[in-house]
Chains A and B, each alone.
Chain A
């Protein structure tokens, strides 16, 4: 019994050391990428790009399900993005609230008929609307079919070569499209997908309305920890993935794709719980299998703030879904694991997901149970345990602090005082926030095993209550 427990503890410790080394390595690679991108971004000619007729037009596609309270304002915001030519296609995915009515009223929409190709699979379109004041706005009303289904309907309507899929509850930096499209414009033959860094808040519009350098971070504890979590996801992981060309998650809140690529792969998959990560895996799989030269990039510019859950229950529900999506996707593409045919994606990216995302909840739970057992049986001294916890918390805090530093270096978005508070919260992340995430991930893993595909959309936050 005791020897078995010792083995379990050692395995879990080895896993912990391994993941820590991986994260530190990724952070270092990400730091190089951040610095390079910062130099590029600081010398980028956004004014010239914004005025140039060579800047490639973009279709912004917005799936909306029960977004009555935010849809008019986010759509208006998207219409006002600083970009030479873009259209906004909002798809009302069979909402049961007044989403469509809100759009009709806000933009004085009138019904019209447009005959488009049926290239992507989706449920029936009931009606289409246009606005006399905003010729670049199209609203599609369709039967409910889920987010992927709504995105596919929007892709059928999209007129431009690049599409930018966004969430209806997300507010963008005015230059978000310019920032996102900067690299695509330089090499449209190779750059097939771009995403960028985004953050979370209860009232995203307040964060994005403030000028650069004076933006507030939502310091509600749960929001602050989510903010840190987003920073870590981008600056400790994705920037490094981008540098190694194995960017495996273009998040649904801001993902630019070349439309013909989406056409080639058959659009968004409707059989997965969520569409974004699966699509990214699928594109990699196809392009690498066919030996094609391409890039999917993650930039370090802060382009948007999305609405995040403001209670523990909502957060767990959201993260449980994210875990399920990761599990579903990584399992579905298991042929890519450690497969040299898929280059860095097969040898680094997919295994990374498997080891640090899919298996992590099991290791974390097992490790905690084994440690408690080991202490109870006297195999492990409580002092050693405390030192270990402190070491983990310190490493965790150091990684998070580096993410805060690189984000600030890149965008200089936030007030210094808010950044200081974030840094003060960092060491407690391990005990206040991580347990919640662990619980959500365990639930998600269990849901995956039970083949649960539900969405669990969280209720709107303070704005919902105010409305």
Chain B
């Protein structure tokens, strides 16, 4: 490992051939060092070897991906063909790495949201979550009903970012998802949407599922809606409904917070 690094620092011509040997070393730690060295070099030939390593699984793919990510924007277009690779692990990493290239391969990524492999779908959804546009939004909303829970997790967060308030009613439904992590992601997404999500959240307050009601109350608290209501109209029926969804500790926490806030400030806000 050290020898290879020394040769690289000295720009020795043998590095290119040596690195192939080291990359195929059965000891994963040695292969990892070669990957790191290739990332340090960053020339076209080194990028080609890294992409080849990603495709063939030479060395840990996560390490290869980390090096390729640091080289952004250089290898972007060369990653696009990997989206069609037969190996799902390669498609996964290609979709993930394309998160750094907002103008590349949108239609291919949308296509991958229907990939048979859930990891690939999740990666495509996550990457599309950094983009915008109607087609991207529609693809993300479609995945909110994915059969795999972790795809729904990514879809909720991504749809919240890309689609915003228009996706709030669908995301709010996920507050009653059977998987806890999906509910958590839905809460994050609705928090991100902010006050535009209030109507959708209020509709969940009457849900049969107590956790869904709790979740809606939690988000209403986190976006400041409850505090505003508690200061503006402390006797409102709506506030009482939210308190019922949140429980006693929720009510006490709101009371403790609003006690410290001068009413004029809230009205001004």
Stretch at the interface among A15-23, A111-119, A448-456: A111-119
Contact A112 B257 (CB under 8 A): yes
For A186, the closest partner residue in chain B by CB is B60
For A110, the closest partner residue in chain B by CB is B257
Contacting residues, chain A, for B250 (C-beta < 8 A) = 113
Contact B69 A111 (CB under 8 A): no
Contact B62 A45 (CB under 8 A): no
13 A-B pairs with CB atoms under 8 Å apart are: A39-B1, A43-B2, A110-B257, A110-B260, A112-B221, A113-B221, A113-B246, A113-B247, A113-B249, A113-B253, A115-B215, A115-B218, A186-B60
* Residue A378 CB within 8 A of the other chain: no
Contact A52 B69 (CB under 8 A): yes
Contact B63 A186 (CB under 8 A): yes
Contacting residues, chain A, for B99 (C-beta < 8 A) = 53
B125 to chain A, nearest CB (A): 15
Name the prevailing secondary structure of the A interface residues.
mixed
- B204-233 to A contact mask, C-beta < 8 Å, 1/0: 000000010011011001100000000000
B253 interface neighbour in A51, A127, A185, Cβ under 8 Å: A127
B1-38 with Cβ < 8 A to chain A: 1-2, 5, 28-29, 32-33, 36
Contacting residues, chain B, for A43 (C-beta < 8 A) = 1-2, 5, 33, 36
Smallest CB-CB A-B distances: 8 pairs: A115-B214, A111-B253, A113-B250, A111-B256, A113-B253, A117-B180, A52-B66, A110-B257
Bound-state Cα–Cα, A34 to B43, Å: 34
Contacting residues, chain A, for B257 (C-beta < 8 A) = 110-112
A160-202 with Cβ < 8 A to chain B: 185-187
B92-110 with Cβ < 8 A to chain A: 99
Bound-state Cα–Cα, A39 to B250, Å: 52
Bound-state Cα–Cα, A159 to B222, Å: 16
* Residue B170 CB within 8 A of the other chain: no
* Residue B140 CB within 8 A of the other chain: no
Which of A43, A45, A112, A113 lies at the interface centre, i.e. has the most chain B CB atoms within 10 A of its CB?
A113
- A76-116 to B contact mask, C-beta < 8 Å, 1/0: 00000000000000000000000000000000001111110
A305-344 with Cβ < 8 A to chain B: none
Contacting residues, chain B, for A112 (C-beta < 8 A) = 221-222, 253, 257
* Residue B184 CB within 8 A of the other chain: yes
B250 to chain A, nearest CB (A): 4
Contacting residues, chain A, for B28 (C-beta < 8 A) = 186
Q: How large is the interface on A (under 10, 10 to 19, 20 to 34, 35 or more residues)?
A: 20 to 34
Contacting residues, chain A, for B63 (C-beta < 8 A) = 186
Residues of B whose CB lies within 8 Å of any CB of A are 1-2, 5, 28-29, 32-33, 36, 39, 60, 62-63, 65-67, 69-70, 99, 180, 184, 211, 214-215, 217-218, 221-222, 246-247, 249-250, 252-253, 256-257, 260
B218 interface neighbour in A45, A114, A127, Cβ under 8 Å: A114
Contacting residues, chain B, for A113 (C-beta < 8 A) = 217-218, 221, 246-247, 249-250, 253
Contacting residues, chain A, for B247 (C-beta < 8 A) = 113
Contacting residues, chain B, for A51 (C-beta < 8 A) = 70
* Residue A206 CB within 8 A of the other chain: no
Residues of A whose CB lies within 8 Å of any CB of B are 36, 39-40, 43, 45, 48-49, 51-54, 110-115, 117, 127-128, 159, 185-187
Contacting residues, chain B, for A111 (C-beta < 8 A) = 252-253, 256-257
Since A115-B211, A187-B60 are in contact, a sample of 15 more A-B pairs with Cβ atoms closer than 8 Å, ordered by chain A residue number, is A39-B2, A40-B29, A45-B66, A49-B66, A54-B65, A54-B69, A110-B257, A110-B260, A111-B256, A112-B222, A113-B221, A113-B247, A115-B215, A185-B62, A186-B63
Bound-state Cα–Cα, A51 to B71, Å: 13
Bound-state Cα–Cα, A117 to B182, Å: 13
Which of B5, B215, B247, B253 lies at the interface centre, i.e. has the most chain A CB atoms within 10 A of its CB?
B253
Contact A48 B246 (CB under 8 A): no
Contacting residues, chain A, for B29 (C-beta < 8 A) = 36, 40
Bound-state Cα–Cα, A324 to B253, Å: 41
For B37, the closest partner residue in chain A by CB is A43
Contact A110 B256 (CB under 8 A): yes
Contacting residues, chain B, for A40 (C-beta < 8 A) = 29
Contacting residues, chain B, for A36 (C-beta < 8 A) = 29
Contact B32 A186 (CB under 8 A): yes
Which of A48, A49, A51, A187 lies at the interface centre, i.e. has the most chain B CB atoms within 10 A of its CB?
A48
Contacting residues, chain A, for B184 (C-beta < 8 A) = 159
For A188, the closest partner residue in chain B by CB is B62
For B5, the closest partner residue in chain A by CB is A43
Contact A53 B1 (CB under 8 A): no
For B93, the closest partner residue in chain A by CB is A54
B27 to chain A, nearest CB (A): 10
Bound-state Cα–Cα, A3 to B218, Å: 77
A183 to chain B, nearest CB (A): 10
Bound-state Cα–Cα, A117 to B211, Å: 9
Contacting residues, chain A, for B5 (C-beta < 8 A) = 43
Bound-state Cα–Cα, A49 to B39, Å: 13
